[in-house]
A and B are shown apart, each in its own frame.
Chain A
Amino acid sequence: MGNGTRGFRAAPAGKHAVLIALGFLAVFPLYWMINTSFKPDTEVFSSSLLPRHWTFDNYRTAWNSVPMARMLTNSLAVALLQTGTQLFTSILAAFAFTRWTFKGSSLIYGLIGLTWLVPFQVIMIPNYVMISSFGWRDSLMGLVVPNIASAFAVLQLFNTFKSFPRALIEAARLDGASDWKVLWRTIFPNLRSAIASIGILLFITAWNDYFWPLLVTTKMEHSTIQKGLQMFMSSEMNLWGPLMAATTIASLPVLVIYLILQRQIIDSFVKGGLR
């Protein structure tokens, strides 16, 4: 980094131009969503960059058409619980794979990897039949329990755990720490940012899930917010204003969590890129 040659100085301008363009591409839809959410019906299809007449009607309609508060609470509960349990199970799995070499470990790892490739549609009916037989329809258990393990998280964390220096683990063991302590006192604090970034991805996936809540829940009051968004879309027309208002509300929690954990995410993406 220190040897700042001339070539290195010319590059950032071009790089920044590209990054600014990409940044614009990423931010513009978000901006357009918020812009449309404040436009009255008559302006929804106009291309003006700001509403000529600002209105909160769309938010009012969106809020009153579906039990928004209930659904947001449900979404938050499901996403947090699901993320928490997925992280917990995958940390244990990743630790087991790194800490011990046991017979069949690569087979199990391969199997876990393969389940990641199975599309949800293939397993949704068997899952649903099972959930129904437990009487878990329309319940938090039904929404969360089938998703407490994530193959994606196991694979990601295994790679992260592998990079953790073995010598440190051995040293901790020599100091008399149990495996449980090694995991939570030695490894976990050092890999916190990587785990947090996987957590964010898991949270977003859980938050955005539509089909499973659609199957498991019946009433809007028991469902997550993604099912509520569908209320504003139909085969004949979309109510763009309320839809954009509802989508804005629905994306706020994810944005807030992203802002809180921003540092960790960027850290881990950078590390992931370097590896």
Chain B
Amino acid sequence: MKISKDTYQKITIKLKINGEIVETDIHVSDLLLNVLRDKLGLTGAKPGCLNGDCGACTVIMNQKPMKSCLLLAIEAIREEITTIEGLLNSTIQKEFVNHFAFQCGYCTPGFVMVSHALLMNDPNPDKKTVIEWLSSNICRCTGYQEIEKALYSVIKGGNACGLKPKNTVKSNGAKKTDETGRLN
């Protein structure tokens, strides 16, 4: 696949999202966030700043939380993407409900995804690690205590291990290719 320098050129790409292969027409300059929302109808990831500051658009790419406003859609080709829509009935979601860990709900998909990704990577994180991961996102409604309680109740419950999102296949994340490599 050849990419011209014209950012308005449309191309067809395949993405693997929530375990399904989807095909969509995009501009090469399109953000992953906008493709998810506008092309694929996956509006769980929210725009909050388009600047990487707030984390409301967080998705999981190859088991790592990524801000989808900082990714071009073409960077997600051949990667395993999980959005909040691919995460049904996870323990962390139940604990968010039990602990009232949301109010307006706008930042919630982002916080659920970053918490879930943390538990996938480290089922028993220490306090410093939790702060490091969760401070990537902003919640303006709660005082964060409820989110903290929701997360720690999963950690204490020891349910974190079985928490792989539905349909997520373990990726070979070690493979590093340059951007054109990913596209070819």
B partners with A: no
